[in-house]
Amino acid sequence: MSRAEDGSRLWLRFGQHRVASSRFSGIEADKTLFAVQELQKAWKQLYGNELDSKNRGKELLVIGTLHSRVIQSLKLDNEVAPLGNEGYVIKTVTSGNIRRTVIASTGKAGLLYGVYHLLRLIQTDELSDQLDIKEKPSYSIRILNHWDNLDGSIERGYAGHSIWKWEELPKTISPRYVEYARANASVGINATVLNNVNASPNILAKEYLEKVKILAGIFRPFNIKVYLSINFSSPAALGGLPTSDPLDPSVRQWWKNKVDEIYRLIPDFGGFLVKANSEGLPGPQDFGRTHADGANMLADALKPHGGIVMWRSFVYSASDEDRAKQAYNEFMPFDGQFRDNVIVQIKNGPIDFQPREPFSPLFGGLKKTAVMPEFQITQEYLGQGNHMVYLAPMWKECLDSDTYCEGKGSTVERITDGSLFNRKISAIAGVANIGEDTNWCGQDFAQANWYAFGRLAWNHRLSSEQIATEWLRMTFSDESSFVEPAKKMMLESREAVVNYMMPLGLHHLFAWEHHYGPEPWCDIPNARADWMPKYYHKADTTGLGFDRSMTGSKAVEQYYSPLREEFNNIATCPEQYILWFHHVPWNYKMKDGKTLWNELCMYYDKGVKQVKSFETIWNSLQSYVDSERFKAIKAKLAIQEHDAVWWKDACLLYFQEFSKQPFPVDIEPPANKLDDLKKIKLHMLSHN
């Protein structure tokens, strides 16, 4: 049995991996380097002592940039220089009787990432005798988006209040700020947006900028830049101007002055994230201007300082147009009109972080504009803080999708990392799941998604399996008899949640506002149609699903051939998206010969069975896990099983009212009655 743990150390549990001795006898490095200081802190936990700079025994660990004399003597310039300031080489070099393992980079940031890579190899017992590793990041900006508010609440947060204690800053500094920075740097995250995209203008007030300055100083050694979400109406709301029109000279001057003020306080400030003209927030359209007008005004103010604008494409209105089409229609007319320090931030799918969506057609559509993916680490639509859902497979599904915008091989991955269109900047964002809970993320398995986002942002070629293996070995146990079954559970978990919530392309069946449980029947008086589940599932006596084919909303037109034709034809549309793109008759014969109704029942039932299997697997692993975390995860899995049955029963009983068909004999019959399920109301999960 492992010793007691509370999950606070995340995957950086160096003390838990302590072994008797290291193969490294000493170190050659400038001890003032921050990377070396981080190494020594971890080394003391791993081995009980720091590496000796005077010992010249069996094997030396050498750390330095290309400016270092010892690195220069090893003639590694040609290997190291192409990897950039954040890239690094970890290489075993033998010269005479001296054996060295070298961590080298052109910059101090690369040394830090190289040190964390070496520590990861030690933690996962993957440190080979002959190392030859070359790494550089897939994206230049790898950023967490915190949806934290200035009052300490977190929109779509499920791990307690914000870790940013604005009322205490700048005088009182929480030790968690350094722990947060270290965790991010250890997986390659190099940027953070501190506040909610539904931003208060007050974040730009001098009082708050002084607080932001403190955080930026704490994060700086870890190579993490600070960004802020801004409210587009700040010139009027904060500055007292009569307008916030982006083409008004006084407004442009206000933003220039504000940006200059920020950079005087924070010289390496990253830039702004903007949600504008979306869900009631102000934006340039309030003044008859365009998204390009608004983004370019901010970009011009930031340009002299090297800052960027991340302009969100999550824009839709209460119109008759299919919501899935609106972002594409809104932004395509402005392709090529944005400044080169503007990057359009696009959610992975065209609706809103659903358990499964096809990739957004804006990836590939905007050929003349830098674009970046926005993933949601916090599980707003995926069981929130209660369900175990490993999200790397979802993100890989998006990144690996081929848009065909420049022919076969034009993947979302190649578009967003800048390689397909040779972009000046590349970025990837994850909406953070971090709060003040002791274990940071509300439930221990949710830590894997923070970890996975960072690792994929650093190297989008990594597999979901490799990342899960690393995380399990570092966070729990490196014994294969634990890792293999736990990994199986993780790798199946995303598909399981799709199965018990919304299989076959169903989407947005969630309860009003809090997005936790099922309410496919939801009908709020006077609410917008596109906030209601019925808008999306279109259930009737004929069938189920949203017709986005050429006979419906024509959303398939936004995709390139051959996807356009593939999605348009019900016979060739991938069945995982069939109810996304088609209104399918209840008796339609699926590829396995079952009718749609029977297939739907089978998937819901399968999802419940998968969650039950996760409970069985976890119970078998008790001897490998400390009792605190074992019991906490066991309790969460019990909630997940209850919720999976709730989802299955609610959806199938409701849809049965339209299909008029019996449940197949080979599935577990509903344990609840529809009238009882309709009475369930949750009010506390909206913005906790």
Residue pLDDT, tens place only, 303-362: 999 999 999 999 998 889 999 999 999 999 999 999 999 999 999 999 999 999 999 999
- The architecture in CATH of the region 14-135 reads 2-Layer Sandwich (3.30)
CB atoms within 10 A of CB 538: 17
Q: What are the boundaries of each domain within the chain?
A: 14-135, 141-462, 499-546+583-678
When pLDDT is averaged across residues 379-384 and rounded to a whole number, the result is: 98
Q: How many residues are recorded in the chain?
A: 688
Alpha-carbon dihedral 49, 50, 53, 54, rounded to 10 degrees? -10
CA distance 36 to 113: 11
Residue 380: what pLDDT? 98
**For residue 612, what pLDDT band results from cuts at 50, 70 and 90?**
very high
Q: What per-residue confidence (pLDDT) applies to 426?
A: 98
Q: What is the mean pLDDT of residues 575-603?
A: 98
Residues 6+ apart with CB under 8 A from 169: 210, 211, 214, 215
Q: What is the pLDDT of residues 492-504, one digit of tens each?
A: 999 999 999 999 9
Residues 228, 193 contacting (CB under 8 angstroms): yes
pLDDT of residue 166: 98
Q: How confident is the model at residue 58 (pLDDT cuts 50, 70, 90)?
A: confident
Q: Which residues pair with 391 in a beta bridge?
A: none
CA distance 680 to 614: 26
Assess whether 352 carries a catalytic annotation: yes
In angstroms, the CA 391 to CA 183 distance is 18
What residue has token string 């940013």? Answer: 164
Residues 6+ apart with CB under 8 A from 1: 623, 626, 627
pLDDT band for position 17 (50/70/90)? low
For residue range 234-265, list pLDDT tens digits in order.
999 999 999 999 999 999 999 999 999 999 99
User: pLDDT value at position 338?
Assistant: 98
The answer to whether the beta carbons of residues 575 and 504 sit under 8 Å apart is yes
Alpha carbon distance 311, 295 (integer Å) = 7
Supply the CATH classification number for the domain 499-546+583-678: 3.90.1330.10
At 70 the pLDDT is 87
Residue with tokens 């674009």: 371
Model confidence band, residue 686 (pLDDT cutoffs 50, 70, 90): very low
Mean pLDDT of the chain: 96
Find, among 311, 325, 329, the residue nearest to 358 by Cα. 325
pLDDT at 490: 98
Query: What is the structure's pLDDT at 57?
Result: 67
- Give the tens place of pLDDT for each residue, 441-491: 999 999 999 999 999 999 999 999 999 999 999 999 999 999 999 999 999
Torsion angle of C-alpha atoms 339, 342, 346, 352, degrees rounded to 10: -110
Q: 669: exposed, middle or buried (C-beta count within 10 Å: 0-12, 13-18, 19+)?
A: exposed
What would the mean pLDDT of 211-219 be, rounded to a whole number?
A: 98
Average pLDDT over residues 575-585: 98
Catalytic (active site) residue 380:
yes
Count of helices and strands (H, E) across the chain: 22, 15
3-state secondary structure of 486: helix
The residue from 380, 599, 605, 641 that is catalytic is 380
Calculate mean pLDDT across residues 595-604: 98
pLDDT at res. 1: 42
Average pLDDT, integer, range 664-668: 96
The answer on pLDDT for 365 being more than 50 is yes
The pLDDT value given to residue 685: 42
Looking at CATH, the fold of the domain delimited by 141-462 is given as TIM Barrel (3.20.20)
> CA–CA separation, 640 vs 649, rounded Å?
14
Indicate whether 687 pLDDT > 60: no
Average pLDDT over residues 173-194: 98
Q: Among 5, 28, 322, 352, which one carries the catalytic annotation?
A: 352
Tell me how far apart the alpha carbons of residues 17 and 479 are, in angstroms, rounded to a whole number.
12
pLDDT value for 350: 98
The answer, yes or no, to whether residue 688 has pLDDT greater than 60, is no
**109-154 pLDDT, tens digit each:** 999 999 999 999 999 999 999 999 999 999 999 999 999 999 999 9
Class of residue 465 by CB neighbours under 10 A (exposed 0-12, middle 13-18, buried 19+): middle
Where does the pLDDT of residue 23 fall: very low under 50, low under 70, confident under 90, or very high at 90 and above?
Answer: confident
State CA 237 to chain mean position distance: 31
Whole-angstrom distance, CA of residue 572 vs CA of residue 589: 13
Q: Do domains 141-462 and 499-546+583-678 have the same CATH topology?
A: no
As given in the structure block, the two tokens for residue 599 are 């297939």
% of the chain residues with pLDDT over 70? 98
What is the per-residue pLDDT for 18? 64
Each residue's pLDDT tens digit, 65-119? 999 998 999 999 999 999 999 999 999 998 778 889 999 999 999 999 999 999 9
**271-274 vs 88-95, strand pairing mode:** unpaired
Average pLDDT over residues 169-194: 98
Of the residues 279, 479, 657, 676, only one is catalytic, namely 279
Distance CA 388, CA 371 (A): 30
